Amino acid sequence: MSAVETDNEDTLSILVATDNHLGYMERDPVRGLDSFSAFSEILQLAQLHKADMVLLGGDLFHDNRPSRKCLHQAMTQLRRTCMGDGRVGIEHLSDPSVDFGPQYMHVNYEDPNINIALPVFLIHGNHDDPSGDGNLSAIDVLAVNGLVNYFGRTHEVDNIRVSPVLLRKGQTHLALFGLGNVRDERLHRTMARKHVTMCQPAEHADEWFNLMVLHQNRVAHGPKNHIPEHFLSSFLDLVVWGHEHQCQVDPEYNHQRSFYVSQPGSSVATALSPGEAVAKHVALLHINRRNFKLEKLRLKNVRPFVIEDVVLAAVPSLSPQSSESEIIEYLRQRVEAMILRAQTQYREQLESGHKDIEPALGEQPMPLVRVRVEYSGGFESFHPQRFGLLFADRVANPRDIVYFYRKPRTSSMGSQRTGSSTQETQASRSVPAPVSAVHVESLISEFLDSSSMQMLVDLELAEAIRLFVQKGDSDAIAHSLKSAVSDTQRRILRDASG
């Protein structure tokens, strides 16, 4: 990474964002338009900064089957911003049928039937991945209408071949590698077995700037439930990492593989966690030959979010004998102070954003507020929703302002463990896990281990049930069973003939 002249005719400028989650809480009367407001700002920033293209790193949609309203809103924003008679200054050099699918003869801005002024390239995430009849994503609807260029699909999870989208502007050559979301356990296994092939340009490979965008767990949630950075190819120059929502947009250098990693994070808060409370930015990436420069742009149209931790045993004015009303009054005062802090944060946010972007959330929107309360040591909890009624017209999330948890008991086994376990992680161990936290893979594996069935593969059946439950794919289980029967029949015939 070195100095780049941003106004040079050879400089390729890309507006980079990830995890837009369009349609998140769209039925909520207060937060229903938050995801669309942020996405609209992102597209406007691309126009205002005269970006050559937009790159989105997965989870454009929050739901695998977005509502008609959500699809209509997304298409409206893309049509308004990306269509026009402006000249696109980048050339597409690779085969569009390989990049985007056999039905596409052109990149969208070279299609003679439509006028595109701002091209958008994107991959799918874990929320909007292909599924169901035809194995289609909601993004396919946008692509077939010429609004976006959808790349990075994989057809075999056990043998992945990643071919780059080759682009050129002047003397700058960009090899854009995309890998849409694959289940982390499967991709981890495939990469560990060296079954992922990264296809570099055939000619003058040293002249290409190699940019990769992927959408996977970057933080380890288990030994195989993430993708270690050292699994990626060392010839890459920059990796744009989607899926992780905490904004870490400044490039971080990986000394082991000699590339940089940028994690833009989400543009809308989908969880009341500390990572979502970090100020949200997008990246303006300038590439000139083999050098790049990355500017971070603060988003204005993001609902302010403040989160704090409270340990009741550490509050001098409270004791286990304190009444519920005394605890509620203390927490009420804390929330009042947090609301004031959120208002200050929002004013700074408006000042830091682009002056030509209108504040879509108004001058003083209701903030998101979260208080994580540890009530160990004899304290009693109370109903969080009843507490939220005190702020029903002042906070955007009155039903879940307060989150109670107990400090986990220490044990000889636990005292020997090392690591950076957060307080939120400790909290999750001390309270019963919600039903949604039970992994279907574990249930399927336990069931198959105790049964005499031999045809069904636990990972494939678990994946089918996950698609049925999370994605609404009513044919997933039938397809999985049909595939298992076909595989068994072929194996029997092969054994019989041998």
> Which residues form the catalytic set?
127
> Which DSSP category does 136 fall into?
B
The three-class DSSP label of residue 424 is: helix
Amino acid letter, residue 449: D
Strand pairing report for 120-122 and 12-17: unpaired
DSSP labels, 296-347: EEE-SSS--EEEEEEEGGG-TT--TT--HHHHHHHHHHHHHHHHHHHHHHHH
Instruction: Quickly tell me which residue has 């593989």 as its tokens.
Output: 257
Checking phi first, is residue 220 left (phi over 0); if not, alpha (psi -120 to 50) or beta?
beta
- Residue 162: burial class (beta carbons within 10 Å; 0-12, 13-18, 19+): middle
Between CA 298 and CA 359 the distance in angstroms is: 13
CA 88 to chain centre: 28
Instruction: Quickly tell me which residue has 């004013």 as its tokens.
Output: 347
CA angle at 236 for the pair 158 and 140, rounded to the nearest 5°: 55
Amino acid letter, residue 213: V
Residue 135 has phi, psi (to 5 degrees) of: 50, 55
Question: In the beta sheet, which residues pair with residue 15?
Answer: 54, 284
H-helix or E-strand containing 484? helix 476-497
How is residue 409 written in tokens?
A: 């008991």
Give the chain's length.
498
- Residue 71: burial class (beta carbons within 10 Å; 0-12, 13-18, 19+): middle
> Which DSSP category does 116 fall into?
B
How is residue 132 written in tokens?
A: 């169901």
